[in-house]
Each structure stands twice: as structure tokens, then as C-alpha cells.
Amino acid sequence: MDQFAAEGWNELISHPDTLSDLAAFLVEAKRRTYAGLDDDATIAAPLLAGSKQLEHRAPPYAYRDIYFGMEFFVGQETVSRDDKIIWSMCYSGGARSDVRDHDTLLRIYKFLRQALLGVSVELPYRGPTAFAADGMTYRNEATGSLDRFHGVEVIAQGGGILYELRYSGGLVR
């Protein structure tokens, strides 16, 4: 009998070792997709037309991030274990609507990827609570834990907000 059948699915995903494994996998997946590789991690044939789809696998886990847009974007990340979705996070946000200059957008998202590389097992949703470089600051405020959470991240420069994103998610039961 496999582990899922023996322990029951809900007991398995609420076990502390499984949650720490999930958090460690999320950190690895995020660093090996958008944060580390930008859209170079995009797969050739996404499930949804017009989307960017990033994936990372380390059995028994698989991570998928599907999003639409650039200046303002929406997306969803999922993690499956042995082909069963166990965790998900939805997000939406982007640069302020008056930020239209392509070079400025590229600079904001390059900075964002630098911040996102600071993802940790303690806060495996987005980036660290604070990060600063190149005259920009990143702030991430999260509430909850891996099983149910929500938060907001902001990038500012010179006291003005350039970018904001809201996210929420948790274990799928």
C-alpha cells in the first residue's frame, strides 16, 4: 500500500516533515524558474495560449507557474506531489499604469528577480521581507503560513511606488 493510502492524504500534507519538504521544494523551484532564469525558463508549448509557463520538477514534486501579461500580469503557481495538486498560489500586479517606458519596465523586473532570489523556506511565497539595490527597495508583507496565506510586495524608488503585487494561496484540500 502506498504512503498516501496508508496515512491518508490530509494527514500527509499536514505532517511537519512534508511541509518543510514542500517549502524547500518551492524555494528551489522559484530560484530555477522566473527568479533565476526569467522567461528563459518558459516551456515551448504552454497549456494556455498567450501565457508564459514555467516548470520545475524534482520528484515526487512538480511546480508550474502560468501567467499572462507584463506591465500588469496575473498568474497561478501550483505544486503537485505524485501528480496530485497539493499547493497553489494566485497573484496579480505589476508596474504602475503610468510606467510605460520599456527600459524602466525591464529595470523594475530585473530588480524584482534579484529580490525573488532571496526567497526562503520561512517565507516561500515570494521574496524576502526587505531588499534594496540600485536605488530601489523591495518590501514583502505576508500573513499566514504555508497552508493558508496572503501578502503584498512593493517596489519603490525615491519614495514613490513603481510596482505592486498581491498574492494568496495555500494547501489544496
Percent of the chain with pLDDT over 90: 75
Cell of 52: 508564459
> For the CA atoms of the chain, what is the radius of gyration?
17
List of the chain residues with pLDDT < 70: 1-16, 38-42
Q: Is the pTM of this model over 0.85?
A: yes
**pLDDT score recorded for residue 15:** 60
**Segment 43-53, tens digit of pLDDT:** 777 888 888 99
**Segment 138-157, tens digit of pLDDT:** 999 999 999 999 999 999 99
**pLDDT score recorded for residue 7:** 46
